């Protein structure tokens, strides 16, 4: 598939180079661009437009519906924070559920905890094509897709969670990580109270859930306040943290961390792996704590969100 003949709304030729630009109504007035070396894959699955390309400086890039999901250069920042913040806040996160996460990056990070309390990892992804393409083009992220402790379920996350709502607490999860794409296509319903209610019903009473917020403080602060309001209608304990990612619009992405247990401390880990230098590239206990520290104007806005 040559760049000269390839046509896609996100790819354009400027001078003698081809560029990908992420332009979306959710991020008005700005875009994020990467120089394209070659197109690796393009298809329309049953659920979404999927593009994979090799970039000049960020390695291979996965794009869904025109929005960057991950790049080989910086994916570890997001994958580590969304995984290790909830897991390190839980004394024994034996059962962990991942909703979405077809690139298998969260699964890779969870495997690091198999000797520290995690016993069962279940990933529910609606689009098998994302998993298969990640195995082929993002092998470092998807390297544990066939791990014996990992169960992958190809199903709508809503339907999977609905079945869990009737289970006793022993069948529910200690940690749930929602690694959905932005609210486009099949991921649109992952940002409303109905979904948060399903999450709570699938979670043990002292469990923890982590969700990507699809927003950061620079893009649409009113939307972020509304999102946290919706989460607070379902969970009694809600916090917001952020990671730094150059490949995400504005260079940051926020995470919502929540629990039904009001007394649970989400900002401070109960475990510390800082002496294991080879385990993480982004995460450590200080980064965990600092990720919840926001600039004054943003902190004030989010504190007032319920008024």
Domains of the chain are 11-71 (2.30.140.10), 75-303 (3.40.50.150)
For position 305, what pLDDT does the model report? 64
Distance CA 117, CA 89 (A): 12
For position 186, what pLDDT does the model report? 46
Going by pLDDT thresholds of 50, 70 and 90, the confidence category of residue 168 is confident
| pTM reported for the whole predicted model | 0.93
Residue 151 forms beta bridges with which residues? Answer: 122
For position 181, what pLDDT does the model report? 58
**What is the edge-to-edge ordering of all strands in the sheet holding 32-44?**
11-14, 17-22, 32-44, 49-55, 60-64, 67-71
Distance CA 98, CA 176 (A): 6
Distance CA 69, CA 138 (A): 12
| Percentage of the residues of the chain whose pLDDT score is greater than 90 | 77
290: left (phi over 0), alpha (psi -120 to 50) or beta: alpha
Distance CA 132, CA 152 (A): 12
Distances from the Cα of 95 to the Cαs of 128, 245, 254, in angstroms? Answer: 23, 28, 24
Among 37-41, 74-78, 210-214, 265-269, the least confident range: 210-214
Distances from the Cα of 138 to the Cαs of 61, 108, 173, 244, in angstroms? Answer: 8, 12, 28, 21
For position 307, what pLDDT does the model report? 43
Concatenated DSSP letters of 11-59: EEEETTEEEEEE--TTSTT--EEEEEEEEEEEEE-SS-EEEEEEESSS-
For position 249, what pLDDT does the model report? 81
Does residue 303 have a pLDDT over 90? no
Distance CA 217, CA 226 (A): 12
| Percentage of the residues of the chain whose pLDDT score is greater than 70 | 95
Residue of 74, 179, 206, 278 marked active site: 179
Q: Residue 214: exposed, middle, or buried by beta-carbon count in 10 A (0-12, 13-18, 19+)?
A: buried
Does residue 304 have a pLDDT over 80? no
CA-derived radius of gyration, the chain: 19
The average pLDDT across 153-174 equals: 85
179 is catalytic: yes
Mapping DSSP to helix (H, G, I), strand (E, B) and coil, where does residue 81 land?
helix
Task: Identify whether the C-beta of residue 32 lies closer than 8 Å to the C-beta of residue 21.
Answer: yes
More confident residue, 45 or 171: 45
Does residue 190 have a pLDDT over 60? no
For position 306, what pLDDT does the model report? 53
Query: Quick one: tokens of 134?
Result: 């990640």
Q: With b meaning 16 or more CB within 10 Å and e meaning fewer, what string describes 126-142?
A: bbebbbebbbebbeebb
More confident residue, 181 or 167: 167
For position 185, what pLDDT does the model report? 47
Distance CA 248, CA 8 (A): 20
Distance CA 255, CA 262 (A): 18
Does residue 167 have a pLDDT over 80? no
For position 189, what pLDDT does the model report? 56
């Amino acid at each position: 598939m040559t760049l000269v003949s390839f046509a896609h709304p996100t790819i354009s030729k400027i001078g003698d180079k081809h560029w990908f630009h992420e332009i979306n109504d959710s991020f008005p007035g700005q875009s994020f661009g990467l120089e394209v070396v070659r197109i690796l894959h393009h298809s329309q699955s049953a659920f979404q437009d999927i593009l994979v390309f090799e970039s000049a400086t960020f390695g291979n890039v996965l794009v869904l519906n025109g929005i960057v999901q991950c790049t080989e250069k910086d994916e570890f920042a997001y994958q580590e924070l969304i995984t290790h913040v909830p897991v390190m806040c839980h004394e024994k996160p034996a059962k962990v559920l991942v909703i979405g996460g077809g690139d298998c990056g969260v699964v890779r990070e969870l495997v690091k905890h198999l000797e520290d309390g995690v016993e069962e990892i279940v990933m529910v992804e609606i689009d098998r094509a994302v998993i298969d393409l990640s195995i082929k083009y993002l092998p470092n992220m998807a390297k544990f897709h066939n791990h014996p402790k990992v169960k992958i379920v190809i199903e709508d996350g809503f339907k999977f969670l609905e079945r869990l709502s009737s289970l006793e607490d022993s069948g529910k999860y200690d940690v749930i990580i929602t690694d959905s794409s932005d609210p486009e296509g099949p991921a649109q319903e992952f940002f409303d109270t109905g979904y948060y209610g399903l999450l709570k019903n699938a979670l043990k009473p002292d469990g923890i859930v982590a969700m990507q917020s699809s927003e950061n403080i620079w893009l649409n602060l009113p939307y972020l306040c509304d999102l946290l309001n919706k989460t607070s209608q379902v969970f009694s304990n809600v916090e917001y943290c952020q990671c730094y990612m150059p490949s995400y619009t504005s260079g940051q992405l926020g995470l919502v961390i929540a629990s039904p247990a009001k007394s649970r401390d989400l900002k401070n880990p109960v475990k510390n792996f800082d002496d294991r230098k080879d385990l993480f590239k982004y995460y450590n206990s200080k980064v965990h704590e600092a990720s919840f520290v926001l600039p004054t104007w943003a902190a004030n806005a989010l504190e007032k969100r319920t008024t």
